[in-house]
Every structure is written in structure tokens, then in C-alpha cells.
Structure 1
Amino acid sequence: MPDDFLIARNPDEASTLPYLVRIPLGEHGIVLKSKDTWPRTSKVYCHRADAWPEDADVVERVATRVCVRRGAAIELVLDRTKESRSQFVLTHVKGREAIFWQSARTAKQARPAVRIPTARAAGSPVDGETAGPLEIVVDAHERYAWRFSQQQVSTRKQRLDAGDYAVELDGRVVAAVERKSLEDLSSSLLNGKLRYALAELSGIPRAAVVVEERYSRVFALTHVRPAVVADAIAECQARYPSVPIVFAETRALAQEWTYRFLAAALREVGAEGLADARLADLTPAGPVPDPEPSTAAVRAWALGEGLPVSDRGRLRPEIWDAYRARG
């Protein structure tokens, strides 16, 4: 077969991967199902295909300059000026083979140039208590839960009425975070489930939804209209302003944001509780006495009662005593 890189439409209409790519490596090449025709904005997920169809509907055919296997990656350089360099990375996700097609640009976006700090979050116990690791409650139904291995955290599992991760104060949940992938976010927005979740989260003193993706990826969705998802996000934020939806770019950054949000929320709610307790311990001031009447008001009263008073100056003490004695 010719040493060209081929892209064709997937004849299997039931497949969620609409394209086939043929990599000119080996005697017969490697055929993969692909989600897109090039990794322009993010990595493209691929899956092994059985064979290249004889009557393939070819979308694109490009001559290949370099195609070589280097470890777990296949380096590909096409004979064109733009979108020429990419690689297919063979890896495993949760015990299953996964293939990702990426370019230098999308690989950099997937690994933001940040280093997650290891410093303790500013949510240590309030009022001088001994600081220990933050205890985060993980919902018992959470699949592939975050472990917070890079944070100073202890976790325990129990059923949560709202959210996937939470912190408690005196046995009461005071802050919670709902975790979403972009696909889960879009589907729960369109089927209405997220609105119910937001309603429950709004009843907690501090709550948020964190998404393991960039906001810009909303507009790269292919299975739904991006504008519909963007509108649904905006509507939810307008309806439930106390529950922000945060796009944290990657799983690691979403986990870090959740850790620091829960720590800060625990400290804030705890400080509010201490302030309320201190106010309750203050001695009541009692009722406020009526203000002392003016000299003009007492003089007018005395004249009305027929008591002798001067037209100006200070009133005699017995006039004041008579005014107070009237009740």
C-alpha cells in the first residue's frame, strides 16, 4: 500500500468515532478509529479498527515524510507546511488500552506549566486549636475518587446527600463540591439532573461544582450543540449564584482547587460560628430609657397646667419634679 497518511469516514454509523485513520507503519499499516481528523484544540481519542475498508470514503490523503515507532509513541511527520507533526501515544487507562493522537500544542495544553504547591491550605482549625490534616468526606458512591495524595488530607467515605466531597463541622456538612467531567457536565445539564443537584447544594453554607476541563472545550463538543451547553451553564449560574461552576483545566488542578476551597470554607463557617457564640455570651444591655425632654417642652407643659414659670432661662427643680411625677 502507498506510504500515505489516509483519513476516511467510518462506515460504522453506530460508532461514536466518525473517522478512520491509516498510519503507514509496518507492512499493512495501522488502522484506527478516530474522533477527529487532527488534534487541533485537544488530544483526539482513537481506538483500534479491524481493517481498512476496500471502498473507503477517503476524506484526506497526505504524503508522509516520517513515520516511526519510538517506545509507546508513533511519531508522524506529514509532507505539508501546516499541521504536519503529531504523534499517537499508546497507553492504558483504568486497565484498558487507550490511544491518543496529539500535537505539540495539545500536549502542552494537557500539561499546563504549573507546579501544584504542597503547602497546607489556609483552612487550619480556628481559634488556636491544634492544626491537623484536613478531613474530607468522600461520597460512598463516588467512582474513581480523588485520593488527595499531594495534599495534607485524610479521607473517609460515607453517603452524602449532596456533592461528592465535603467537610463537616460538629457533625454537620458545611461545605461540599460536586465533581464533573465535561461530558458529565453537558449530559447532566441537558437532562436536568444538574439543576436538582444545584438546588441541593444551595442549601449548604458553602458549595461549588468543579469541572476537570477548560471552559473553551465546551465549544469543541461534537455530540451536542456547544451554544446549548454554554447557555445552560449561564442559566444555572444565574439561578443558583451561591454555587459557582469552576473550570479547573485538569484533574489535578480540580483536585487542588477542591482541597483549598473546602479548607477555606471550613475556616470561614467555623469563624462565623465562633462570632455568633461570642455575641450570645455578651450581657444584654437592657431597654433603652426614654430621652430627657427639652426645657421648651417642660415649660409648655407647665404653662398648660397653670404653674408659674419664667419665659426664658432655666426651670426651677420643683417644675421638673412635677413633670416627672405626672407619669
Structure 2
Amino acid sequence: MLNPPTNLIKLSPKDFLRYSKQIVIENINIEGQKRIKKSRILIIGAGGLSCPIMMYLTGSGIGYIGIVDSDKVEITNLNRQLLYNENHLNKFKATSAQSQLYKINKDCKVIVHKYKLNKMNSKDIIKYYDMIIDTTDNFETRNVICKTCYELSKIYIYGAVDNFFGQMSIFNYKDGIKYKDLYSTHISTNHNCNLNGIMGITTSYVGTLQAIETTKIIVGYKQKLNNSIILCDLINAQIKIKKIYRQKNYIKRTNKHQNRIIREHKEKNYINNNLVLIDIKDKKEFLKQHKAKSINIPLKAFRLYGTIEFLKKYNNKNSISICCNKLDRASTVSSILNLHKIKHSLTK
């Protein structure tokens, strides 16, 4: 319950002492600490984004934390998933996280859901929590979270990372935007989103942002991120907030023969003679197969200043469409273009 009757919630002398440094904050105070103690937060995924979220929320005195994850700890996780160590290798992340969090705060009740979230079990799990934090790395699960949170009227805290880039937003907050307003469910697949490498610094930064926004909503702080997304380019020290609008004015058409989806605005036709089709595959992949009249600009080239300036120049008079057979690469490029306010569409 995000707005519990605080007069019925009691803080113990231990609570006052332990959380005294945050109770004195004007935006938290005693009422806010009571809300924190009563909150039930579900974290979907127990990886790099989750670790700072779980640690900070547990330390702040959250009453209940649920963890959904079916994976086991691998040695490749340890560069960014700092809640674990080599003693946890080949053990389930959810139960390992539970034992580690009890070392931080034994008064926080940690509930383990040691399986993958899917269409069949999502409602039964999510309905018991006040807020849902998504730290997953695939579009299939995010679509399930999006649909279930909307149907159950649950606030959805979203975060995603890739390399030195990250994004964070809040969905279903006071009838605001939804995840599908950011990424169409029609182009989303079960591709993994972290195939390009990831730094622990990036996951910690974005995960901390998710924990901060979660806490602000719990204590009733006026939300300024509603209907917006935070875009982080940590390699260039750039943080931007971009407004997101509901996709009411878009129509979706599926071409079954060519197995592609075109997103098209009703008032503006992007499929015309001024279209610049950019194929972001590697050079070898591009030479093997590509669409007619497409330009090859590999993913790594989008980190360069010259590439961005080139696209900005063409964006003034032409429509840009990003083409790739792997959605994880396309979404990465889309995030970079959004950061630089370059309008574009995605096609397979």
C-alpha cells in the first residue's frame, strides 16, 4: 500500500535510531519512514541493476522485498553484480541475494520467487506488491511486465543498460506513459539486450536511479520524471531527460511475407523517396546480405562524433530508418539517436 494509514504504523526505538539520518531529511521525516516500512517492492531480475537497488532499499528499511529470478550466479556476473562473490557460484541468485540482504538488514522480509516471470504466473506474483522494478534484459519479459502492471494498476520502474549507456523511466504512474510507448510490443522479441558488453559502473548508476525514484514515490515526493525518460551516456558524461508521448497517433502494419514491421505516423509518411535506410550490421554481414539502397554504418561507428553530425545533416531533409536483423543492436542505436534528438524509425 503506497498510501497507508501512517497513524497505525509504529516505529520502534531501534527504527528511530537506525534510520535517524534519513528521518531528519525534510522529504522523508517520520511519516515517510513509516511508508517505507510498510512498502512491498517486487524486483524482477537479480543481476547488475538489481544489486544496488536491493542493497539500498533494504538498507533504507523497506518492509518487504520480492525477488524474481531463476538464474544461477556465474563468474562473468561478478564484475557488476556486487551482492555476490565466488562463494555463490552455481547457486541461485534469488536465494543468494536473500541471504546477503539479511546481513544488511534482518528486519526486511525478503521473499524469493525462484522462477522466470511469464504470462502464466505474472499476475499471481505481481498482485501482492505495491511497486514493480524491472531489471530484466529481454523484451519478452518486459512486455509481460508492461501488460500485467497495466491490468493490475501497478507502478512500473524501468531500467536498461548497454555498455556505458543506460535509460530509466517510470510507467503507469498517475495514468502516464507505458512501456509500449517507448518500445512497440510488435517489434520486441526475446533477444538479450546486453550482448555488446556491460560495465558494473553503468548498472550501479542506473540501478541507483531506479532506487531513488522508487523511494520518492513511496514517501509521496512530487514526481517530476512522469512521462519522461532519463538517457545516460556515461562515457561522455551526458545525462538528458527526454519527453515521451503516448503512441495514439501511430498505426502498425505487419508484412508477413517480408517478416518486418513498419511504424508509421498517420500525419506523416516515412516511406517515401526521401528515406535514408541505414543498415547497422558489421561490414562482413552487410556484404553477405542487405537491402537495396541501404547504407552500411556499423554499430561501433555510432560512438563517433562524425557519424552523429552526418545523421543530423541528413535528418533535416530526410527520414532515417535503422535496419538490423538483431533487435538488441537496433535498440542500442535507437537510444543513441534519441540522446541526440535524431528522429528515426526501426525496421527489421
The higher-RCO structure (CA 8 Å, 6+ apart) is 2
Note whether the superposition's TM-score is higher than 0.5. Answer: no
Structure with the largest fraction of strand: 1
Structure with the largest fraction of helix: 2
TM range (shorter): under 0.3
